[in-house]
Amino acid sequence: MRRFAYCKVVLATSLVWVMLDMFILLYFSECNKCDDKRERGLPGRDVLRPREGPGEGGKPVVISKENQEKMKEMFKINQFNLMASEMIAFNRTLPDVRLEGCKNKLYPDDLPRTSVVIVFHNEAWSTLLRTVRSVIDRSPKSLLEEVVLVDDASERDFLKRPLEQYVRRMEVPVRVVRMEQRSGLIRARLKGASLSTGQVITFLDAHCECTIGWLEPLLARIKLDRKTVVCPIIDVISDDTFEYMAGSDMTYGGFNWKLNFRWYPVPQREMDRRKGDRTLPVRTPTMAGGLFSIDRDYFKEIGTYDAGMDIWGGENLEISFRIWQCGGTLEIVTCSHVGHVFRKATPYTFPGGTGQIINKNNRRLAEVWMDQFKNFFYIISPGVTKVDYGDITSRSSLRQKLQCKPFSWYLENVYPDSQIPRHYYSLGEVFSYTANKEIRTDDLCLDVSKLSGPVMMLKCHHLKGNQLWEYDPMKLTLIHVNSNQCLDKASEEDSQVPSVRDCTHTRSQQWLLRNVTLPEIF
């Protein structure tokens, strides 16, 4: 009787799960039939579309003319083409964009296992599930500990119970963790990392697609040196068509004078260090921040993230400086490719405004890690000094405890091609006048190619010539040496474009350079 009763319980339980699965599938099917009044972004069916379906092979999705207006309305929800995304299978095929030399590489059998932490806030169902599906489908099961989805207080119903029910069916553990209130990327990642169990933590954004062979090369570098933090090449998924486009292995991460992350060409010194082998990892001064892997224990040792930072912004440079200055290494592993939907605008709003939050975060990283070079940043971005950046005592103590190197060491040894000029005559919000007699902003220099012509900002070539300017502090003129003409402010005739003209010493040719040389900085 006990055995019979037990069997009835098991049978009843099984029927409950079967009915639950049927309910989920019916729910998803009905969502596809909802009328235009429904909230866009509701989940579609997880079907195995034929390989010639929309977006297969990473190809662009074309929306018919009659659906263009509807597509534009849906675009506003997540700031990408939601209609195109919903047409693409969760497990769509992608091209193998790796270098040929990467495809035959062999990796050790005993690589560390990783937890993949993905933070989302009001993410589209299709992009979120495509991210998770690509992680599971293109990762060796022996290396994938779990996927941890951290919900940063989403308001969309389909990201609540339906998501939890859906991920239960996946063949590796997928957990959904909820933040009690909107906390931002930084604190949500910290929570996800604290609850994960893998030896390595891999952070991904919620609108990514992993390609074949993406994981093994990342984990192999960490196995070789646990203090190496690694990033994949970030391929581009078009926000308009969801076309998959390979990123370049010839770029790496840097930053400009305003502490904005930028991609720059891999310098010759790094090519020489690798002896021309492009399949070897590139040492990068900074990371983009959205996608990287790190040893769990090392992540804790170097202070995880700065929990005093808000929402998003600046955390990627802060952890980059910290890794390098405190004895670690930061690399882009060129044999690993992960696609990312790059949006032209953010669909989210931040308390106090995006600028205020990023200024606070950048002020914290400057105060803790940049030493006297922070003054350079403050001259370029004076508004930063007006924000309340909170208490940095614990972060300064961390730097002292880890016996981290000064920022000057970082600039000399890690980022000698930094756009921060070591010697300059004047600094300002608009441009700087360097000791090399360049007028520059970021890596662009003021250039003149013809007499009495308009001036242009072109890539600094350091060859003087058309980019050589002489400043006369008595006459307040900036003379273009090649043409012996003076920089003249924009006029209505020139359509507001500055130009060079014969020197007349008029007010329009006088330029007052402030913040002249601060020798105490250097």
Q: Tokens 């729910």 — which residue?
A: 27
Q: Would the CA dihedral through 268, 270, 272, 275 be positive or negative?
A: negative
Task: Give the model's pLDDT for residue 13.
Answer: 41
Q: Which two tokens stand for residue 1?
A: 């009787």
Map residue 69 onto helix, strand or coil. helix
Which one-letter DSSP state was computed for residue 215? S
| Residues with Cβ within 8 Å of residue 438, at least 6 apart in sequence | 445, 446, 460, 462, 467, 468, 469
Classify residue 60 by burial, with Cβ atoms within 10 Å: 0-12, 13-18, 19+.
middle
Q: Which two tokens stand for residue 377?
A: 């940043």
Task: Give the model's pLDDT for residue 316.
Answer: 95
* pLDDT > 90? residue 441: no
**Least confident piece of the model among 134-148, 400-414, 416-430:** 416-430
Instruction: Of 163, 173, 123, 168, give the one whose Cα is nearest residue 28.
Output: 163
* pLDDT > 60? residue 380: yes
261-265 and 144-151: which strand pairing? Answer: unpaired
User: How does pLDDT run across 95-137, given as a tens digit for each residue?
Assistant: 999 999 999 999 999 999 999 999 999 999 999 999 999 999 9
Task: Give the model's pLDDT for residue 434.
Answer: 82
**Angstrom distance (rounded) from CA 61 to CA 341:** 14
* pLDDT > 50? residue 323: yes
| Residues with Cβ within 8 Å of residue 494, at least 6 apart in sequence | 454
Task: Give the model's pLDDT for residue 45.
Answer: 40
Task: Give the model's pLDDT for residue 452.
Answer: 66
DSSP alpha helices (H): ranges in 95-215? 100-103, 125-137, 161-167, 184-195
Task: Give the model's pLDDT for residue 152.
Answer: 94
Read off the pLDDT band of 443 (50, 70, 90): confident
Percent of the chain with pLDDT over 70: 83
* Phi, psi for 325 (deg, rounded to 5): -70, -20
Task: Give the model's pLDDT for residue 42.
Answer: 42
Instruction: Of 57, 56, 54, 58, give the one whose Cα is nearest residue 67.
Output: 54
Q: If you average pLDDT over residues 214-237, what whole number do you get?
A: 98
User: How does pLDDT run across 32-45, given as a tens digit for each residue?
Assistant: 333 333 233 344 44
* pLDDT > 60? residue 293: yes
Pair 229, 287: CB distance under 8 Å:
yes
Pair 406, 417: CB distance under 8 Å:
no
User: How does pLDDT run across 454-467, given as a tens digit for each residue?
Assistant: 788 888 888 888 89
**Angstrom distance (rounded) from CA 199 to CA 183:** 25
DSSP alpha helices (H): ranges in 346-391? 354-369, 374-380
Instruction: Of 296, 295, 369, 279, give the one whose Cα is nearest residue 332.
Output: 279
CA 193-315-222 angle, to 5 degrees, is 50
Q: Tokens 């030896």 — which residue?
A: 199
**Angstrom distance (rounded) from CA 339 to CA 211:** 8
Classify residue 121 by burial, with Cβ atoms within 10 Å: 0-12, 13-18, 19+.
buried
Q: How many Cα atoms are found within 13 Å in the side-chain-facing hemisphere of 279? A: 11
Task: Give the model's pLDDT for residue 459.
Answer: 85
Which one-letter DSSP state was computed for residue 132? H
The chain-wide mean pLDDT, for the chain, equals 85
Q: Which two tokens stand for residue 164?
A: 């939890």
Which one-letter DSSP state was computed for residue 351? T
